[in-house]
Amino acid sequence: MIDLRSDTVTKPSAGMLAAMTSAPVGDDVYGEDPTVTELENEIAALLGHEAGLFTVTGSLANILGVRALAAPGTEVLCEASAHIARAELGAHAAISGITTRTWSAPGGQIDLDQIRGLIAPDLGPYFVTTSAVSVENTHNFGGGTIQTSYDALADELDTIGLPLHLDGARLWNASVASGVPLSAYASRAAAASVCLSKGLGAPVGSVLVGSAELIKEARVWRKRLGAGWRQAGVLAAAGLYAVRNNVERLAEDHAHAQQIAELLADAAPGSVKPDQVETNIVVADIVTTGKSVAEVIETAKTQGVLIGGVDATQLRLVTHLDASASDCRKAAETIARLLQ
Ligand SMILES: *Cc1c(COP(=O)(O)O)cnc(C)c1O
C-alpha cells in the first residue's frame, strides 16, 4: 500500500528508534525529564521564543495556546477551514468557552480586509469581544499553502494590540519552501505550535512556544486536562531526532507533491493548479470529471493507493518521508487513470 492520506502515517525510522531507546528520562510532571526539557528548549530557541511545552498532540498545543490568549466568553478569529475551527471537535468552545468567527479565502489565506471587518473591540455588554487572531501556516485544508500576508497581519495586530496565534503544525514546510526562518514566522505570534508527528516523522508530539509566563500557565492547564506525563523523554527523543534530521529533507516531499500535481492536472485539467502547490499537500477538485470523491478513494484503495478527501468534490494527497519518489509517481498515475 502507498499511503498518501496524511503525513501523520509515517513510522519511526531505525535511527529514531535508537534515539528513543537510549534517551535519558525522568518524571516530567516534576520537571525532571532531561530529554523533554532539551526538546522544549531547543524548539523554543528555534522558534524565537522564551519557553516551550511538549504536548501529546497538536490539538492540545492549540487548545493550550488559544486559551492562553482568549478568556472564556471572548472570540478568536480564524479562516473558515482552519484546523482549530474544523478539526478539533469544538474543543475551544467545549473546554475553554471560546467562540470563533471566521473569514473565508481561497487556499485558507489571510484576508486583511475581511479580518479588519471582523475584529470587534470591547463594545461593552453586548457584542462578543475579539481576543486574538489565529492563522495556520502552512494551511492544511487550503492545500499546504504558505500565508502571503503573514507579516502584514502581524504588523496590523501589533498596532491594534491584539495577539496572534500561529497554528504552525507544518511551519517546517512553510520555512523550507519559502526560505523564511522558522523564528521569523513564529516570533511574530504570542503563542505558536508546531507538530513533530507530521512531515518530521516522529510518532507523537507537538510543542507549544511562548513567553515563560504563558508556558508556565499552559503547563498547569496541560496537567489540569489530564495530559501531564512522566518519562515522556522516550517520545521527546523522537522529536529531537526529527527536528535535527528531517527538516531539510521536506524539500523532497514538496518536489513529490509538485510531480503529483502535474500528473493530476494533465489527467483532469483544472482540478489542481501545480503552480499553487507550494509544499507537501495536493488538493484536487474533481467536480468536472463526473467522478465522486468516495468512488475514487475506494477504487484507488483496491489498486494499492490510499488517499483522502477534504469534502464532496476534493481529494487530498499528502507526501511524506515514508513515500518515495517512485511511490508518489505510482500513486499519482493510479489516481490520474481513475480521473480520466
Ligand atoms: C495535524 C494538525 C494539527 C494537530 O493535529 P493532532 O492530530 O491533534 O496532532 C493542528 N493543526 C493543523 C493545521 C494540523 O494539520
> Does 166 lie in the same domain as 39?
yes
The alpha carbon of 100 and the centre of ligand 1 are apart by a number of angstroms equal to 17
The alpha carbon of 169 and the centre of ligand 1 are apart by a number of angstroms equal to 6
Is 197 a member of any domain?
A: yes
> Does 295 lie in the same domain as 191?
no
Is 4 a member of any domain?
A: no
Is the minimum distance from the CB of 57 to ligand 1 under 6 angstroms?
yes
The alpha carbon of 59 and the centre of ligand 1 are apart by a number of angstroms equal to 6
The alpha carbon of 195 and the centre of ligand 1 are apart by a number of angstroms equal to 7
Is 7 a member of any domain?
A: no
**Domain endpoint, select from 186, 212, 245:** 245
**180-184, 309-313, 324-328 — which is least confidently predicted?**
309-313
Residue 317 sits at the vertex; the CA angle it makes with 173 and 263, to the nearest 5 degrees, is 105
**Domain endpoint, select from 227, 245, 263:** 245
Is the minimum distance from the CB of 59 to ligand 1 under 6 angstroms?
yes
Give exposure, 108-146, as e/b (b: 16+ Cβ within 10 Å).
bbbbeeebeebbeeeeeeeeeebbbbbbbbbbbbbbbbb
- What is the average pLDDT across 202-218? 98
pLDDT tens digits for range 141-165: 999 999 999 999 999 999 999 999 9
**Structural domain containing residue 122:** 14-245
**Domain endpoint, select from 245, 262, 287:** 245
The alpha carbon of 58 and the centre of ligand 1 are apart by a number of angstroms equal to 5
**Proportion of the chain above pLDDT 70, given as a percent:** 100
Is the minimum distance from the CB of 167 to ligand 1 under 6 angstroms?
yes
> Does 193 lie in the same domain as 293?
no
> Which atom of ligand 1 is least distant from the CA of 198?
1
Among 8, 140, 235, say which to mutate for ligand 1: greatest number of ligand atoms within 8 Å of CB: 140
> Does 216 lie in the same domain as 257?
no
Q: What is the structure's pLDDT at 121?
A: 83
> Does 71 lie in the same domain as 149?
yes
The alpha carbon of 207 and the centre of ligand 1 are apart by a number of angstroms equal to 11
> Does 149 lie in the same domain as 298?
no
The distance of Cα 195 from the centroid of its chain, to the nearest Å, equals: 6
Q: What is the structure's pLDDT at 226?
A: 98
pLDDT tens digits for range 92-117: 999 999 999 999 999 999 999 999 99
Is 185 a member of any domain?
A: yes
The alpha carbon of 270 and the centre of ligand 1 are apart by a number of angstroms equal to 28
Is 5 a member of any domain?
A: no
Is 158 a member of any domain?
A: yes
Among 9, 64, 165, 167, say which to mutate for ligand 1: greatest number of ligand atoms within 8 Å of CB: 167
Domain count, the chain: 2
Of 108, 110, 112, 166, the C-alpha closest to 134 is: 166
Is the minimum distance from the CB of 140 to ligand 1 under 6 angstroms?
yes
Q: What is the structure's pLDDT at 95?
A: 98
Of 163, 160, 4, the C-alpha closest to 68 is: 163
CATH of the domain at 185: 3.40.640.10
User: Does residue 122 carry a pLDDT above 90?
Assistant: no
Distance CA 231, CA 29 (A): 9
Average pLDDT taken over every residue of the chain: 97
Is the minimum distance from the CB of 37 to ligand 1 under 6 angstroms?
no
Place of cell 480564524: 78
> Does 295 lie in the same domain as 203?
no
User: Does residue 124 carry a pLDDT above 90?
Assistant: no
Distance CA 12, CA 17 (A): 6
CB 56 within 8 A of CB 205: yes
Is the minimum distance from the CB of 169 to ligand 1 under 6 angstroms?
yes
Query: What is the torsional sign of CA 177, 317, 90, 126?
Result: positive
Question: What is the band of 125 on the pLDDT scale with cuts at 50, 70, 90?
Answer: confident
> Does 310 lie in the same domain as 201?
no
Distance CA 94, CA 66 (A): 13
Is the minimum distance from the CB of 83 to ligand 1 under 6 angstroms?
yes
DSSP code per residue over 168-231: ETTHHHHHHHH---HHHHHTTSSEEEEESSSTT--SS-EEEEE-HHHHHHHHHHHHHTT---SS
